[in-house]
Chain A
Amino acid sequence: KQEVTQIPAALSVPEGENLVLNCSFTDSAIYNLQWFRQDPGKGLTSLLLIQSSQREQTSGRLNASLDKSSGRSTLYIAASQPGDSATYLCAVKGNDMRFGAGTRLTVKP
């Protein structure tokens, strides 16, 4: 059974810092990996989708990498802003979709 782990569970940084969120998974037989953002009490917003054949995807200040063989993905956020404060979830798509527990990010002004 696929297990997805996210480290750290919580992160607090001053505005402007670059930061990295980590996601690891136990079964490398995946179709894709997706990063989401969740604001308190709200649904999920898709940030980046990386297919299993890809190594990275970029959107604005966000860059996600995927190393399928080692079961790792990172989400890099450049020049963080207070509006980036949210919980970030990674999800791995195999036969179903499994989520990590998330990283709660706080960016302080």
Chain B
Amino acid sequence: GAVVSQHPSRVICKSGTSVKIECRSLDFQATTMFWYRQFPKQSLMLMATSNEGSKATYEQGVEKDKFLINHASLTLSTLTVTSAHPEDSSFYICSAPSLTDTQYFGPGTRLTVL
């Protein structure tokens, strides 16, 4: 089946630094990818929709200057958490729809900001 990878799987960083998370669709092309955040014991929350070749669409309450999204190619989207703070510590997951519109999810990235 279709596979979506994320890198890194875990990252620990100091407050104030920036962290880049990559999301790749390994065997299919995706013009759209989705980025989610999940706080402990809470459900996934959609952060933004990444669009290849154009600007990302952000959900209400998500700071676009803080969470930079770049959909550089049909198989790669990146999420950069700029000037990370402890409250940004979370589990970040991306997904990409296949041609049949089945959503395939990456394994997630656990971000810890000290």
Residues of chain A lying within 8 A (CB to CB) of residue B100: 49
Cβ-based interface call for A31 (8 A): yes
Given contact pairs A99-B43, A102-B43, A42 touches B102 in the complex (Cβ within 8 A): no
**How many residue pairs, one in A and one in B, have C-beta atoms under 8 Å apart?**
50
A44 B105 Cβ-Cβ under 8 A:
yes
Given contact pairs A41-B110, A96-B34, A97-B95, A46 touches B105 in the complex (Cβ within 8 A): yes
Shortest distance between the CB of A38 and any CB in chain B (Å): 9
Give a binary string over A56-68; 1 marks a CB under 8 Å from any B CB, 0 the rest. 0000000000000
B43 A101 Cβ-Cβ under 8 A:
yes
Cβ-based interface call for B54 (8 A): no
A96 B102 Cβ-Cβ under 8 A:
no
Q: How large is the interface on B (under 10, 10 to 19, 20 to 34, 35 or more residues)?
A: 20 to 34
20 CB < 8 A contacts A-B: A34-B102, A41-B91, A41-B110, A43-B6, A43-B105, A43-B107, A43-B108, A44-B44, A44-B93, A49-B101, A51-B101, A91-B103, A93-B103, A98-B46, A99-B36, A99-B44, A99-B45, A101-B42, A101-B43, A102-B43
Residues of chain B lying within 8 A (CB to CB) of residue A89: 43-44
Main secondary structure of the interface of A (DSSP, over half): strand
Which A residues between 62 and 96 are near B, CB-CB below 8 angstroms?
89, 91, 93, 96
Chain B minimum-CB-distance residue to A36: B105
C-alpha gap A36/B95 in the complex (Å): 13
